[in-house]
Structure 1
Amino acid sequence: MNHPTTTAGLQGRLWEAVAEGDEYAAVGVVQQALDAGVDDEALLLDVIAPVQERVGTEWAANRITVAQEHAATAINERVVASLAHRRPAPGRRTPDKGRVTVGCIDGEWHAFPARLVAEVLSLRGWRVDYLGAQTPTPHLVAHLHHTSTDAVLLSGSLPTHLPTAHGAITACQAIGVPVLTGGRAFGPDGRHARALGADRWAADARGAAAVLEAGIPRPRLAGIRQAAEDLPHLADQEYTMVVRSRGQLVKQTLVDLENRYPAMRGYDDSQRERTAEDLAHIVDFLATALYLDDAELFTTFLTWTADILQARNVPAHSMVTGLDILAGQLRDFPRTVGLLHAGVDALRAQPNRPVPGPETRA
C-alpha cells in the first residue's frame, strides 16, 4: 500500500478526487502534502502533471467522457491555482533572474502544460508574464514591445498549430526576443521546433528552466523571414492548395464515402457531423505534414485516431477508404499523394482488432 505522502500515494489520492469531481478533496490533497513538507515543484510536476496526463489517457480509452475530461482538467487547474495563491512557502524566492513571457500558440486551447511551466519558473525566481491559451501573435508581439522580456516560451500540444507557431517564432525573433518552445506539437525530440527556427526547445518544465539558466542569446534584429526561407519545400505550393481547398475536400470525400458505403446514407445529423469532423482533422494533419515535409507526423496522427475509433467501437478501416478518396482528388500533387499513401500503409500495418457492432458511427 502506498504511503499517502509518497509520489505514488499522492497521485492515487489526487486521481480519486479528480475522478470523483471533488475539487475540495483535490485541493486538500496538495495542501496536506505541502504541510507534510512536499515542495511545490514536486507537487506540480510529479503529482499534478501525471494525474492530468492520466485524464487524457482515460478519455482516449473511452473510460471517461469529454465532459468528465473537461471537469477533471478544470479541477487540476484549480489545484494549481491553490498552490500559487497560498502564502509564500519557505524558500520561495523573490523574482530576480529575469523576466519571461509564457503563452500558447494562437489557436491552442491546451494551456495546462504552459501553466505548469509558468508556475515552476516563478518558483525558481523568474518574473513570469503568463498569457494563457491561444495568444494571437500580434498581441504577443505588442506585449513584448511593452516589457523587457528576456525570452518567450511558446507552448503547443496540437501539431496542426505549427504553421501559426512558425509565424509567432519569426515575429518574436524579428524584434530581438529569443523563443523557447515546448509541448507535444514540437515533436518528442524537438525536431519541429528546429525546423521552424526556434532558438531552443525543452521537453518539460525542468528542461525549460535549465535552458533559461544556461541563457539564450538574443537573435539579431532583422525583418520577419518568409516561411520558405526555413522550409524551402513550401515553394511547390502544395500546402497552400490543400489548405485553400479544405472545405471542398471534406465535402467531396464525405459524398464519395456515402457512395461506397450506402449505409452511411442512414446516418443521423450527429453521425454525419462527427464523420465530417474526422475528415477535417485528417486534412488538417495532412496540411501540417506538408508544411513540415514530415510523413511521420501524419502517420502518427492516423494510427492514434485508429486506436481512438477502435476504443469507441468504430471500424477504423474506413479511414483507408477516406485516404484513397483524398488521393484521387489530389492526384496532381506528388508530395501530398506520397503522404496519403504512407498513411494507408501505416493503417494497414496496424494490428487487426475485432470490433463489435455495426459499421456505423456509435
Structure 2
Amino acid sequence: MTAVTTADPTDAYAGYLDHLADADEYAAIDMAIGLLDAGVPAERVLLDLVAPAQAEVGERWARNEWSVAQEHAATHISEQVVAAVTGHVNPRPTGGRVVVACMDGEWHALPPRLVAEVLRLRGWQVTFLGASVPAAHLVSYLHRYDVHAVALACALPMRLPYAHRMIEACRRSDVPVLVGGRGFGVDGRWARQLGVAWAPDAPSAAELISDERALLRVPPAWLAHLADDEYASLVRRRGELIDSAVADLRDGVPATRAYTAAQLDATVSDLGHILDFLAAAVYVDDASLFTEFVEWLSGILLTRGVPATAIARPFEHYAVAMRDFPRAERVLALGRAALPAADRRPAR
C-alpha cells in the first residue's frame, strides 16, 4: 500500500496526480483508502482529491501535454478510486431516491458520479444512470419509481437545447429537477435562462435536494426569442454548412488537401462544434456562450499546430452564410472578434 503521511487530501494531491500520470491504479486506490484510514471523511477525499485532479487531467489534455489515451486512462483510474472509496465506507440510505444522469449525448460521467456519491454519503438512495441517457429512457425509469428528485449534468453548453427538452420531460413526470455542470455556465446563468434549479457543486446539490421548497422555487424559462425560428433553421442547415465549409477550406488552405482521414474527421468535428455552439448561443440568446467557446477552441487548435488561417477561415465562410440570420450573424461576429488578432479576417 502507498504510504500516506498526511491526513489532508490537498497535501496528497501531487502524489495522486503522479499515480494518474503513471497509470498506477493500485497506488491511486491505496492512497485514497489510506486517507480514509487516517480519518479523512470520504466526501473530502472525493471533492478535495479526486475532483481537482480530474480537472487537471482535462487541462493537461487541453494543453496538449497528455494524449486522449492518457486522459482516458487517468479518468478510468479515478472512477475506480471513487468506487473503492464509497465501497470502503459503504453508507446505508436513510432518505428518498434521487436519480443522477448525464444529458443525452454527454459522455463526461465522472463529475456527476462524484455528485451521486456525495448524495449517497449524505443518506440518499441514489441511482446513477451514467453517461448519455436518452430522455425517453430516463422518463420511463422515473415512471417506475417514487423519485424525490432528478439531477442532470451537462458539461458542454452546445447541448443546452437538448438539456432543455430533457428537463421539461422530467417535469412532465412531476419530478423536481436540478442541474449542474459547466454546460450551464460557471455561474448557472443558462440554467436560469431555462428556468431550472442549478447547483454549482456536489455539496450545494445535496443542500438543494434537502430543501424541497427551494428546489421548486425557480423562475419560468425565458425563451420568447425562439419564435423567430433561427435556431431551428440553423439545425436544419447544419450538414449543408459543414460540407460547404470543408470545400472552402480545401480551396483556401492548401495544407488541408493533404489531411489524413483522421485529420479530416477532426476538422469536420470542429466545424460541427462551431455550428453547435453558435446554435446553442442563439437558443439561449447569449453571445458569451459562443465567444467563450471560440477562445477555448482557438487555444486548443493552436497548441496542436493547426494553421491560424484554418481557424479563421470557417468563421469567414459562416459569416457569409449567416446573412439571413440576424441573431446568429451578430453572435458569429462577436465570435470572430474573439479570435486571436492575427486570425481575424473580414467577411467576404
Q: Is the contact between residue 241 and residue 318 of structure 2 (CA under 8 Å) also seen in structure 1?
A: yes
State the Cα distance separating 1:348 from its structure 2 match: 4.0
Q: Which of residues 66, 79, 82 in structure 2 aligns to 1:80?
A: 82
Q: Is the contact between residue 105 and residue 156 of structure 1 (CA under 8 Å) also seen in structure 2?
A: yes
State the Cα distance separating 1:310 from its structure 2 match: 1.7
Q: Do residues 202 (structure 1) and 189 (structure 2) align?
A: no
What corresponds to 2:99 in structure 1? 101
Q: Is the contact between residue 103 and residue 131 of structure 2 (CA under 8 Å) also seen in structure 1?
A: yes
State the Cα distance separating 1:5 from its structure 2 match: 3.1
Q: Which of residues 106, 124, 130 in structure 2 aligns to 1:132?
A: 130
Q: Do residues 240 (structure 1) and 238 (structure 2) align?
A: no
What corresponds to 1:48 in structure 2? 50
Q: Is the contact between residue 208 and residue 214 of structure 2 (CA under 8 Å) also seen in structure 1?
A: no
**Whole-angstrom distance in 2 between the partners of 1:30 and 1:291:** 42
Q: Which of residues 40, 62, 65 in structure 2 aligns to 1:63?
A: 65
State the Cα distance separating 1:349 from its structure 2 match: 5.0
Q: Is the contact between residue 281 and residue 287 of structure 2 (CA under 8 Å) also seen in structure 1?
A: yes
What corresponds to 1:114 in structure 2? 112
TM-score (norm 1): 0.89
Unaligned runs of at least 5 residues, structure 1:
221-226, 353-362
State the Cα distance separating 1:314 from its structure 2 match: 2.0
Q: Residue 125 of structure 2 aligns to which amino acid in structure 1?
A: R
State the Cα distance separating 1:217 from its structure 2 match: 6.3
Q: Which of residues 131, 140, 143 in structure 1 aligns to 2:141?
A: 143
**Whole-angstrom distance in 2 between the partners of 1:8 and 1:249:** 47
**Whole-angstrom distance in 1 between the partners of 2:33 and 2:340:** 49
Change (3 A) 1:184 1:350: farther
What corresponds to 2:25 in structure 1? 23
Q: Is the contact between residue 42 and residue 89 of structure 2 (CA under 8 Å) also seen in structure 1?
A: no
Q: Deviations over 1:270-298 (max 9, x none)?
A: 32222222111111111111111111001
SS at match of 1:314: coil
Change (3 A) 1:99 1:120: same
State the Cα distance separating 1:218 from its structure 2 match: 7.6
Q: Do residues 311 (structure 1) and 311 (structure 2) align?
A: no
SS at match of 2:316: helix
Q: Deviations over 1:291-348 (max 9, x none)?
A: 1111100111111011111212223443222111011122111111111111111114
Q: Is the contact between residue 9 and residue 35 of structure 2 (CA under 8 Å) also seen in structure 1?
A: no
Higher share in helix: 2
Q: Is the contact between residue 169 and residue 197 of structure 1 (CA under 8 Å) also seen in structure 2?
A: no
Q: Do residues 343 (structure 1) and 335 (structure 2) align?
A: yes
Q: Is the contact between residue 312 and residue 343 of structure 2 (CA under 8 Å) also seen in structure 1?
A: no
Q: What count of residue pairs does the alignment treat as equivalent?
A: 339
Change (3 A) 1:129 1:216: farther
Q: Which moved further from structure 2: 271-280 or 107-116?
A: 271-280
State the Cα distance separating 1:252 from its structure 2 match: 0.4
Q: Residue 76 of structure 2 aligns to which amino acid in structure 1?
A: A
Q: Is the contact between residue 178 and residue 216 of structure 1 (CA under 8 Å) also seen in structure 2?
A: no
TM-score (norm 2): 0.92
Q: Which moved further from structure 2: 141-150 or 341-350?
A: 341-350
Q: Is the contact between residue 176 and residue 219 of structure 1 (CA under 8 Å) also seen in structure 2?
A: no
Aligned-residue CA RMSD in angstroms? 2.1
User: Aligned ranges for residues 188-199 of structure 1 at < 5 Å?
Assistant: 188-198=186-196
